[in-house]
Amino acid sequence: MATKRKYYTEEQERLAKIAKALSNPARVFILDFLAKNLDKCCYSGDMVDELPIARSTLSEHLKELKNAGLIQGEINPPYIKYCLNRENWMIARAMLDRFFDR
Amino acid sequence: MATKRKYYTEEQERLAKIAKALSNPARVFILDFLAKNLDKCCYSGDMVDELPIARSTLSEHLKELKNAGLIQGEINPPYIKYCLNRENWMIARAMLDRFFDR
DNA sequence: CCAATAGTTCGGGTTTTCCCGAAATAAAAA
DNA sequence: TTTTTATTTCGGGAAAACCCGAACTATTGG
């Protein structure tokens, strides 16, 4: 490949990461679901019945969204209450705003 | 798995597709590059020197962005002038706005 | 203590993504 | 007509994503 001079900026890497979190319809569904129920927070069991995927698969999508920072889970055994991470949600929103505003 | 009642909405599928187009830093770079040069449109050769990937790989990223509708290429052999697709850009922007606005 | 419940982790299969270099394409320049 | 130039397509390899069912973890209720 030989050496190239420039690589991606931090901003570009971060935007790609946010986009990746949103790049699967199941994850978009989860975020929609959590946003629709901001008042109550949700258990993963509330979502699995609405989705055409196995519990374990849902669990992995939740993990990805957590890693991306878009959601958080409050452990309250044997339940885990999920909700949007407002702070990072706003950051993601601002980044996408900036990106598309031109 | 048994039969599940609900699947993803059109909106959710479309959002996931847009996000997927943005989910790789090389593609974010390309869009940034085209947006920075709205006046002139760009050749793929203008971009390859700034990127740590082979020409053929760049070409495939361009194809993906074209399929997602975010860019368009005007053939002007042996060059191809690329530019943002303003119409779809605005649509994507509106969808993301709506998604994050809550 | 034992069973039930909610959710995660593990092992593994299939598909998709990302990337490359080599070959192909197609028009312009020599 | 031959060569050069800009880009795409092809073949293929490596890595990641997606999905599943089975096994595991941890707590609560009986």
pLDDT at B1 over 50: no
Residue B7 and residue B91 in contact, taking contact as beta carbons nearer than 8 Å: no
Could you identify the residue written with the tokens 């889970």?
Answer: A73
Spatial distance between the Cα atoms of A73 and A80, rounded to a whole number of angstroms = 6
Contacts of B52 in chain A (CB under 8 A): 1, 4, 6-7
Residue B66 and residue B72 in contact, taking contact as beta carbons nearer than 8 Å: yes
Note whether residue A1 is domain-resident.
no
CATH number of the domain where residue B25 is located: 1.10.10.10
Pairwise pLDDT comparison (B26 vs A78), residue with the higher score: B26
- Rounded, the Å distance between the CA of A55 and C1' of D22 is 13
**pLDDT of amino acid A25:** 97
Pairwise pLDDT comparison (B73 vs B12), residue with the higher score: B12
- Find the Cα–Cα–Cα–Cα dihedral B23, B29, B35, B37, rounded to 10°: -160
User: Which tokens hold the place of B66?
Assistant: 């074209």
- Nucleic strand C near CB of residue B93 (< 7 Å): no
Q: What is the mean pLDDT of chain B?
A: 88
User: For residue A42, what are the CA distances in angstroms to A27, A29, A31, A32, A37?
Assistant: 14, 13, 11, 12, 7
Note whether residue A90 is domain-resident.
yes
pLDDT tens for each residue of B40-83: 667 777 899 889 999 999 999 999 999 999 999 877 666 788 99
pLDDT average, residue stretch A6-34: 95
Phi, psi of A4 (to 5 degrees): -105, 150
pLDDT at B13 over 90: yes
pLDDT at A88 over 90: yes
- Rounded, the Å distance between the CA of B54 and C1' of D7 is 12
B4 band by pLDDT with thresholds 50, 70 and 90: very low
Mutate to test the interface with B, among A3, A11, A22 (most CBs of B within 10 A): A22
What's the total number of domains in chain B? 1
Neighbouring residues of A39: CB distance < 8 A, sequence distance ≥ 6 = none
- Burial of residue A66 (number of CB atoms within 10 Å: 0-12, 13-18, 19+): middle
**pLDDT of amino acid A2:** 37
Structural domain that includes position A61: 10-100
**pLDDT of amino acid B6:** 52
Note whether residue B2 is domain-resident.
no
Note whether residue A2 is domain-resident.
no
**pLDDT of amino acid A39:** 65
- Find the Cα–Cα–Cα–Cα dihedral A11, A13, A14, A18, rounded to 10°: 130
Closest CA to B99 of A82, A57, A81, A27: A27
